[in-house]
Every structure is written in structure tokens, then in C-alpha cells.
Amino acid sequence: MSELRHVGRDTPRPDAAAKASGKAHYIHDLSRPGMLFGKIKFSEHAHARILHVDTSRAERLPGVRAVITAANTPQVRFGYLRDNFALKKDKVRHFRDEVAAVAAMDPDAAAEAVELIRVEYEPLPAVFDPYAAMMEGAPLVHETDPEGRPRETNEVPVAFHHVSGDIDAGRRAAKHVAEGRFSTPRIQQSCMGTAGCIAEFGGDGNLTIWAKTQIPFLAQRDFNRALAAMGLDGRNARVIVPCLGGAFGSGLDTHAYEYVAILLAHRTGRPVKIVYTRHEEFANLSPRQSAQVYVSQGCDEAGRLTFRHVEVFQDNGAYTSWGATYPGVMLLPATSLYKVPSIVFDARMVYTNNTYCQAMRGYGNPEMTWPLESNLDELAEAAGIDPFEMRLINCNEPGETTPMGARVTTCGLRDCLVAAAGKLDWASKRGRGRKMRRGVGMASLVHVGGSGRIYRSDASGIILRLDDFGNVYVSSGGVEMGQGLHSALTLGVAESLGVLPANVFINETDTATCPWDVGTHASRGAFTACNAAILAAAKLRNRIFTLAEEIFPAEIERNLAAYRSERPGYQPPRFDWRLEAKRDRFDLRDGMIFLKDAPDEPWARLELERLLRAIHFRPAGEMLTAEAFYDPPSDLPDWGRGRGNMSAAYAYGTQGVEVEVDVETGEVQILRMVSAHDVGRVLNPQTIRGQAYGAIAQGIGYALYEEVRTEEGRILNPNFTDYKIPTAWEMGFPIDLVFIETNDPAGPFGAKGVGEPGLVPTAPAIANAIYDAVGVRVRDLPITPEKLLAALADEER
């Protein structure tokens, strides 16, 4: 591969200076003329009939412009299973339910008005334990399905299954077996910028909504459906994505508050802004899906896995969002992490009166890798094999197709394992630290590295437009949420087109001006957008070089004349420029057009911008624009059979950690960590490091500190006082990052997605290290000091 000029270089992000200056504008900072402030009244019960909503006092409060309920607005259904409503009419199914909303001229009036709304409820028996919800006689959370047919159970009709090989044969062939039940909690995405939107109807009756979304186009589709439900058929929604204060999956669905803002905007005829307070964010925004997983794995005498049996059970909460589809992603590690000849995978989920859950970074992978990689260490111990050896024995290889049908192209897992073991000093530390209560542990991951197909199109479109000054404007449907998409795109466009990064401008993501993109999730942003950029850039280069055949010779003749006038006696080298100026002989680099294999004279180069102006201002002039629509080579899986090559490439990795346990307090101190990732190619060292370090911080929170605590459906820790995320202090241990560049053929410049992998194996790596240190294992995250002490006490007995 020829040397890259921009990709791979440590480059500051193009959006960093604005953010450092306080000039980046987030939803919180935006204002529209005539804007009103919206506020939602949430349910005061986990499960109750709504008997009456009295809004009269709220309506009379000065400054209030509208008070809406399900009674005075058209019904707007939404959600993956269409089981949710913008405003609840007959009953509330959890504390988060939106019962009424207010639009007022200032936030204080809106808040006061919400307090003045009186709702009369008839409480109903509620169910919070998902196992209880599965039983006959449990209160029904939804009495009917979205089509109005009566329901008999709380079970959610979503099917994820996989069977491959022969599990009975696999069990028989197993010399050693380990099994266990594991659980993961609900986690709050905890974006520093809370959720919010501004909805505004234009004079033409169409909707514009500035939204904190990762799916502008799927949101447009959802909002158009809502407009139709509101009797506004044919009206169109325009979704604009401003600077986001983080997302981590919380923008992958549309939310009730967005529909409420739209209803309020329509009712008042004015823009309406709804922004969640931190408390509302904790209490009313869907968190990461929790899971209870049973896993059983067996291996032969040599340590080769012979079977894997996984059963997943999820508390779906009161409505359905992407949490219900985590098992789809769980299929990937379940079938493709290590070589396993026989697999049974099943997932079930049930409605309860708890909060419902949405996407969060990793999207089921951390939930599945937690049990798998914890259990693998237990199996290794049963078999008397070192856990690092065990992983090498079962390691995935490039070129294999996994039982799910994942076609693994590049695979750097072996290198990642070796790197992790090396950096950790595994050989000298494993099994030797008990006296000091120190231990080392590792865990691996597989994730989608070439997007993840979950919709009928997994495409990303791009438009590149050149102006008169050699600048290129990039319209991409992808969303920058702090992960560095704009940086990747800037470098990718600069590299593939042949201009300087300073001449690349990324336009705001806007469904009116950008081409379709399914959404920025599955670590797909740079992978898809840069691949689209490469295709579009190639078209532009083709056109530029075709035009250069005409323009280049005359322009450099002009250059030469000017050059000669300053250097009397200068003799140019003999070269027939007109003859040699052929399309396939040109190159464009850093905004300069030149002929390859021609004499390298300073006058023999043409600035791109001169060519652009020349073709613009001549008769029948033209401006250059190119577009591309990149859809990765992958398949939409058959979820019911758990089969399909859902990604164009797969990202593997291994994390290792050394811990020291305080056996009196149960606290776990992380002494050092190594995170080795097969990334295909590093696009920008500082952005990939940021993703890796940030993921580790979230992984540590997942492993040790974080949990949305609820009791009878009510959140107990809706604030940062009691929902503890790592601070700079907790991250004060040495971290080795290792990036293995396997140069994937499907990836832009060989790169694979890297946003999510970093937090997938952290929790099991820590648990495995704790086991090495003190010989006990906690199977329910987070591994709090209390749980660890209890496990140590049990062990002593």
C-alpha cells in the first residue's frame, strides 16, 4: 500500500477548537424566535388506570400557551413494536409514562404548570420481577397487542434463536464442563449533555426538528408517521442534528419527549424546546438493557470447546425499544467468539412495570461477553488449563466462517491475546499473586467491525461538492457525537481526494441536505462514511483528471512563462506536456494537480482551485459534485435462526488487567490494564485512543460502580451523587493500548469500526483478575465491595 499522507497521522479534530472556545452549540444552547419551553408530567404510579386529568389550573397559569394530554391530541404510536404512545390515555405502565405536557413562555412557568396538573389514578397491581411477570396470573402490562388483539401473557414476541452443530454430541464429547448464571444491570448512558429537542412547524406546515439523534433518517420516517397520525398526511419532517453532548446509543430510537414536542409545537404554532434535566434524564430516559444469562460450555481434554449453551432472559420493561434486540447482537459473541462446533442460543423477554431500555454502546455484546468470558475461565480451571492458553487453543482465525455465518476476513485475535499477555507479564504473574491479593485476568471480544446490518439497508450516502477555492464540502448522513466521525471523514476525504484536511468542511447533518444513512451505531460511522467518501472522491478525481487534459497544458504554459520571466536563461526540460496530459497520468495531492512521471518542476503543477475556476467560468461552465451510496457487503440476519453475515468485517480484541483486592473492604484497585484491538488500520491515533480510553472508563464503571437501582419501579439513584461514573481519579492506572493493523479489504484504508469494542470485555477481564487474586467470583455486575466481601465470606465457609 502506498504511503498515506493524512490517514494515520495524529491530527487534532476539526471540531475541537470550537468546543475548546465555548463556540460549539448544543441543543441546550439553541433558541428559535418565539420559542416556548415544554415540560412533561410523568406518571406517579408504576401501574394504574388514568381516571381523570385536570389541566384547568395549569392552563390558567400566566405564560402557559398549551397543555396537552392524550384526550386532546391525536394518538401517536411509536416504538419498535409500536406498543408505546406519546401521551398515555387509559393507563400508565411505569413511572416514566408521559401523561400530560405543557408549553410555556419560560421554563419556570412550564415547571410550575406541570405541578398544577392533577391526575387521578386507580392503582393496579404491578409486577417488577421479570420471573414473576412470566407466571400465569401475573398482572398484564399490555392487555392488547398493537393490533388490538387481547394478550394472554407478558412475554414479548421477539424471537432470537440459534442452533448449530449437535449440542448433545458436544456435551458427550466434553471432558470438562462449567456452567453458571450471570446478570448485568441497567446502566445509564450518562451523556454529559442531556436529551432534548426543538420542534418547529414552518409556515408551509412542514416540521423541522433539531434532535439529539443518531438516526436522523429513521427518525424522519418515524416523525413523518407521527405527522400522518396527527392528520398531517403529506407533511414532511426535517431532522437536523446539532452538536451532541455524547450519545452512546441513547439517540438510536425516537422518544416520547420528541413526539410531545411535536404535538406542542403543532398546538401552539410556535417552536417548542424540551430539554431533560439530569434528574429527568436518569428517571425518564431509557437506560442500557439488563440481562440474566445462563451459560454452559464444555471442552475436551485438550481444551478445545465442544459446545456452548446460552439462555438469555431480559426484563423488557413496560414498552419496547432496542433493548429487545440486544440478543441479535449477542448472537455474534455467542456464535463467533472462539471456535465452537455446537451451539444453542435462546432469548426470551417479558414486559414488566419497570423502565424500558434502549441501545447503549456494545448493544448486548458486553451483556453476553460478561458470562461467556467469565465462564471460560471457570472452564479453563476445571480443565487445568491456563486461561490464556485456553483462549489461544480456541482462537478464531482469519478466513473462517463462524456458525452464525459471520465471514471473518481479517482477524487479529491471536496477536491481541499475545499482546495482552505480554504487556501484563502474564507468565510471571498469573497464579502467583495470591499472597498480595493481586491477580491478572483477561477477556476477549468479537464485535462487528464493518457496520452491523439490522435494517433492510445498511447504507451511508455522501455528497462531495467542490467550490471555487479548492474547498470540498461534505454532506454525510452520519452523526458526530464525540466519537470523531468528523475527524475520520476529514482525513478520509483529504486522503482519497487529494486535498489538505484544512480544505475539507463537514456540513451539519440535516435530512434536507444530506443523503440517507441508516444511523450512526454499530461502530459504523467511519467505516461506512469513509468508504462512501472514497467512492465519491474517485468520481471527482476522474472528472478532474478528464478536465485536466484540456486545462492543464495551457495553465502550466502560463506558469512557465511567468517562471521564465523571472529567470532569464532558464531552460525547461524537454517534455511534450500536451501529448502527455492524459487522464490516467494525472495525480492530485494536497490540492495540487500534476503529471506522474513528468519532470518535477515547480511551474509544472496546477492548483486544484485554478482548474475549478477555469471550468466554472468558461462558457457552459461546470461545478464539480459527486455522490456515492455505500452499502456494506453483508446480509440481514435471519434472527429466528440466528444466521447471517451481519457485517462486512469483524473486530476482535483482548483486554487484560492486573488488580489488587482489599479483602477487608472488598474494594478492587486496578493496577494496570492493556487493551489490544484488531482495528484494521488506525485512521487517527488520538481519536482511536480517545475511543479506547473512553470505552475502558465505561467498562470499569460497568464492572465496578454503575447500576440503575430501582425499587418497585422507582429509580433510587437519579443523580451523579448516587450513580457513580469513573472520574479522573479512578482512571489513574497505566493503560497500554495496542492496535493491530490487519488491513481489512472491506475497510476504508483497511480500517474497521472501533467505537464499541473497548468496553465489551472489561468486566470479565476484571472478574477473572479478581479470581486470580483472591479465588472468588462474582457473577452479578457490578462487582461492588459488598458483593465481593460476601463472596469471600462464602468462600471461607
Partner 1 sequence: MKTEVSFTLNAGVVVAELAGHELLIDLLRDRFGLTGTKEGCGQGECGACTVLVDGRAVNSCIYPALEVEGRQVVTIEGLLGPGNDLAAIQRAFVEHGGIQCGFCSPGMILSARALLDRIADPSEEQIREALVGNLCRCTGYVQIVESVRKAAEAMRSGGSGGGGA
Partner 2 sequence: MTEPGGTQRPPAPAGCGEKGDPRLAPRYDYHRPRTLDEAWSLRSSVEGSRYVCGGTDLIVRMRSGRESPRALISLRSLPELTGISMGEATEIGAATTFTDLLEHPALCARYPVLAQAARRIGCPQIRNVATIGGNLCNAIPCADSATALIVLDATLRARSPRRKRDIPVAEFFLGPRQTCLRAEEVLTSILLRPPAPTGAGIFLKATRVYRDLALASVAVFLEIGPDGRSCRKARVAAGSVSPVPLRLRSVESLFESEGISPETVSRAKGMAREAIVPISDVRASADYRRHLTGVLLGRAVETLANRERA
Residues that bind partner 1 (CB under 8 A): 12-13, 15-26, 28-29, 189-194, 243-246, 248, 277-278, 481-484, 686-687, 689-690, 692-698, 719-721, 725-729, 731-732, 735
Q: Which residues contact 22 (CB under 8 A, 6 or more apart)?
A: none
Q: Which does 111 bind (CB under 5 to 8 A by kind): partner 2, partner 1, none?
A: partner 2
CB 642 within 8 A of CB 636: no
Q: Which does 185 bind (CB under 5 to 8 A by kind): partner 1, partner 2, none?
A: partner 2
Q: Which does 110 bind (CB under 5 to 8 A by kind): partner 2, partner 1, none?
A: none
CB closer to partner 2, 109 vs 751: 109
Q: Which of 776, 766, 796, 787 is nearest to 665 (CA)?
A: 787
Distance (Å, rounded) from C-alpha 725 to C-alpha 727?
6
Q: Which does 600 bind (CB under 5 to 8 A by kind): partner 2, partner 1, none?
A: none
CB 98 within 8 A of CB 86: yes
User: Which stretches of 61-158 are DSSP H helices?
Assistant: 107-116, 130-134
Least distance in Å: CB of 27 to partner 1?
A: 11
Q: Which residues contact 422 (CB under 8 A, 6 or more apart)?
A: none
CB 100 within 8 A of CB 69: yes
Distance (Å, rounded) from C-alpha 440 to C-alpha 429?
7
Annotate 764-790 with DSSP letters as a single string.
HHHHHHHHHHHS----BSS--HHHHHH
CB closer to partner 1, 570 vs 720: 720
Distance (Å, rounded) from C-alpha 674 to C-alpha 423?
7
Of 651-680, binders to partner 2 (CB under 8 A) are 664-665
Single-letter code of the amino acid located at 453 = R
Q: Which does 187 bind (CB under 5 to 8 A by kind): partner 2, partner 1, none?
A: none
Least distance in Å: CB of 37 to partner 1?
A: 12
Q: Which does 191 bind (CB under 5 to 8 A by kind): partner 2, partner 1, none?
A: partner 1
Least distance in Å: CB of 480 to partner 1?
A: 9
Residue 538 host element (H or E): helix 525-566
CB closer to partner 1, 509 vs 559: 509
Least distance in Å: CB of 664 to partner 2?
A: 5
Instruction: Please report, in angstroms and rounded to a whole number, the separation of the first and last CA atoms in the chain.
Output: 61
From residue 171 to residue 200, the character string flagging contacts with partner 2 as x (rule: CB under 8 A) and all else as - is ------------x-x---------------
Q: Which does 129 bind (CB under 5 to 8 A by kind): partner 2, partner 1, none?
A: partner 2
Is residue 166 involved in binding partner 2 (CB under 8 A)? Answer: no
Distance (Å, rounded) from C-alpha 790 to C-alpha 797?
11
Least distance in Å: CB of 83 to partner 2?
A: 24
Q: Which does 193 bind (CB under 5 to 8 A by kind): partner 2, partner 1, none?
A: partner 1
User: Which stretches of 85-159 are DSSP H helices?
Assistant: 107-116, 130-134
Least distance in Å: CB of 258 to partner 1?
A: 20
In this chain, which of 705, 733, 743, 775 binds partner 2, going by CB under 8 A? Answer: 705
Q: Which of 566, 552, 546 is nearest to 598 (CA)?
A: 552
Distance (Å, rounded) from C-alpha 138 to C-alpha 127?
7
Q: Which does 15 bind (CB under 5 to 8 A by kind): partner 2, partner 1, none?
A: partner 1
Q: Which stretch binds partner 2 (CB under 8 A): 76-84, 258-266, 764-772, 780-788?
A: 780-788
Distance (Å, rounded) from C-alpha 423 to C-alpha 736?
7
Q: Indicate the DSSP class of residue 243.
A: B
CB 331 within 8 A of CB 219: no
From residue 726 to residue 755, the character string flagging contacts with partner 2 as x (rule: CB under 8 A) and all else as - is xx-xx-------------------------
Distance (Å, rounded) from C-alpha 792 to C-alpha 797?
9
Is residue 10 involved in binding partner 2 (CB under 8 A)? Answer: no
CB closer to partner 2, 546 vs 665: 665
Distance (Å, rounded) from C-alpha 139 to C-alpha 133?
7
Least distance in Å: CB of 35 to partner 1?
A: 13
Residue with cell 414552518: 202
CB closer to partner 1, 259 vs 282: 282
Size of the site for partner 2 (CB under 8 A): 41
In this chain, which of 721, 794, 796, 797 binds partner 2, going by CB under 8 A? Answer: 721
CB closer to partner 2, 134 vs 390: 134
Distance (Å, rounded) from C-alpha 242 to C-alpha 126?
40
Q: Which residues contact 193 (CB under 8 A, 6 or more apart)?
A: 26, 27, 28, 212, 244, 245, 246
Of 111-140, binders to partner 2 (CB under 8 A) are 111-112, 114-115, 128-129
CB closer to partner 1, 335 vs 698: 698
Is residue 795 involved in binding partner 2 (CB under 8 A)? Answer: no
Torsion of CA 303, 305, 311, 312, to 10 degrees: 80
Q: Which does 269 bind (CB under 5 to 8 A by kind): partner 1, partner 2, none?
A: none
CB 141 within 8 A of CB 318: yes
CB closer to partner 1, 141 vs 244: 244
* Tally of CB atoms within 10 A around 422: 15
From residue 60 to residue 99, the character string flagging contacts with partner 2 as x (rule: CB under 8 A) and all else as - is ----------------------------------------
CB closer to partner 2, 542 vs 727: 727
CB closer to partner 1, 502 vs 562: 502
SS3 of 174-188: CCEEEEEEEEECCCC
**Nine-digit cell string for 131:** 420471573
Is residue 717 involved in binding partner 2 (CB under 8 A)? Answer: yes
Q: Indicate the DSSP class of residue 24.
A: -
CB 425 within 8 A of CB 374: no
Q: Which does 23 bind (CB under 5 to 8 A by kind): partner 1, partner 2, none?
A: partner 1
Q: Which residues bind partner 2 (CB under 8 A)?
A: 107-108, 111-112, 114-115, 128-129, 183, 185, 277-280, 283, 292, 664-665, 705, 709-712, 716-719, 721-722, 724, 726-727, 729-730, 778, 780, 785-787, 789-790
